[in-house]
Structure 1
Amino acid sequence: MMRRDGVNSVLPAFNASMVLPPFVGDSPARRAEGSPYQASFCEVALRFGGTEARCAILRGLYTYRAELRASGFVHGFQWIDGSFSEDVEASRGRPPGDVDVVTFAYRPAHLQNPHDFNAWFRSNLHLFNPAALKARLHCEAFFIDMQKAPHLLVDDVRYWYGLFSHQRESLLWKGMVAIPLESNDDDALVLLG
């Protein structure tokens, strides 16, 4: 896939509906060609930056990712979506207001015990409150503990994939992006100013 500037990219161009396509190629059955598209934070900054409004959102996402990692959440990934991953400037005549984020992460070593994790979680709600994160960092963010019971994890994936893979108003099927937590985000920060 090529970005608008002609550089090879793992992220496809927006389709005629001005969203990431839910899959590339001629069939959604090819696992490697479907959403969520894997990308580094730097790739996301290159692809979705470009305006001051978008860069401010990306700086907020950078801070959120740094805070999660500082708390020990380094193994996992984030799905990003919402109007941020669409060409809303062209389709709706406005910049995105935030980025929707679901973090799927394994607990750090010091939080393996469920009691310890729950106590820590309650005392660190600033990392897990979607409304507060949206106000503070432009991230409407949600957290999924990858060490929960498998049937609960499957239900979370089903819910978030169903929600993120469609526009809320139109129900248009669309793609999203997956970013690993293990990433050198500092390179992207240079791009964001």
Structure 2
Amino acid sequence: MIPELNQSGVLPPFIPDQGPTDRAGMAPYKATISEFVLRYAHSPERRAILRGLLEYRKKLRKVGILEGFQWLDGSFVENVEISRGRPPADVDLVTFAFRPTNDLDQWQGIVTGNTDLFLPSKSKAQYQCDAYFVDLNTHPIHVVSNTRYWFGLFSHQRDSYLWKGMVEIPIACEDDNAFEILEREEGDA
């Protein structure tokens, strides 16, 4: 469930009624991709970004990245239209996933053959996703370090340092349904 934005126009870092020590009520908030699309598809700019996100997720699965989740954040999950007077330019995301193969040469081939998935500048240009990847097959020390980094970065606004929440979506989700919802939203606009 994605909570309502707080008075600062951001997802709260935790549900106030539950408090910051209740794991079930703190960010990242678990949701489905369909819930995410329904929540954020309220403008043409947002729908274009969501279409890019769905295409990005589709290609991740096409190259065999099936087990894991994504943290979604940035101005896309904020009321940036009011707070900054502009639509979001992209969606920030980090994919935490297991490699589709343990063969490092094969994995390297997947990465170098799909730079639009693994180089943020290319994923941003291709999919409107400022996308990063954390390999869950690496040593736990590296996974913890990367998680600490991304949670620290995503849990605060860059300019104001305002504490905020983010959304977590599994990679294996009902993306076909989300595409249908997005098409319906585009048709109703």
Where do 5+ consecutive residues of structure 1 fail to align?
Answer: 1-9
SS in 2 for 1:27: coil
Q: Alpha-carbon deviation of 1:124?
A: 2.2
Q: Alpha-carbon deviation of 1:26?
A: 4.6
CA distance in 2, matches of 1:122, 1:168: 30
Aligned to 2:129: 139
Match of 1:21 among 3, 12, 22: 12
Q: Alpha-carbon deviation of 1:90?
A: 1.2
CA distance in 1, matches of 2:180, 2:108: 36
1:90 aligns with 2:82: yes
Aligned to 2:154: 164
Number of paired residues?
182
Runs of 4+ in 1 over 3 A off after TM superposition: none
Match of 1:124 among 110, 114, 119: 114
Match of 1:149 among 130, 133, 139: 139
1:70 aligns with 2:91: no
CA distance in 2, matches of 1:189, 1:121: 26
Residue type at the aligned position of 1:42: S
Match of 2:49 among 50, 57, 76: 57
Kindly indicate whether the alpha-carbon contact (under 8 Å) linking 2:18 and 2:25 is maintained by their aligned counterparts in 1. Answer: no
1:184 aligns with 2:174: yes
SS in 2 for 1:107: coil
Aligned to 1:3: none
Aligned to 1:12: 3
Residue type at the aligned position of 1:181: I
1:42 aligns with 2:58: no
Where do 5+ consecutive residues of structure 2 fail to align?
Answer: 184-189
Q: Alpha-carbon deviation of 1:191?
A: 1.9
Q: Alpha-carbon deviation of 1:36?
A: 0.2
TM-score, length-normalised on structure 1?
Answer: 0.91
CA distance in 1, matches of 2:112, 2:39: 35
TM-score, length-normalised on structure 2?
Answer: 0.93
CA RMSD of aligned residues (A): 1.0
Residue type at the aligned position of 2:130: E
SS in 2 for 1:18: coil
* Cα distance per residue 1:120-166 (max 9 Å; x no partner): 32232221110111111110000111110100010000000000000
* Cα distance per residue 1:151-191 (max 9 Å; x no partner): 00100000000000000000000000000001111111122
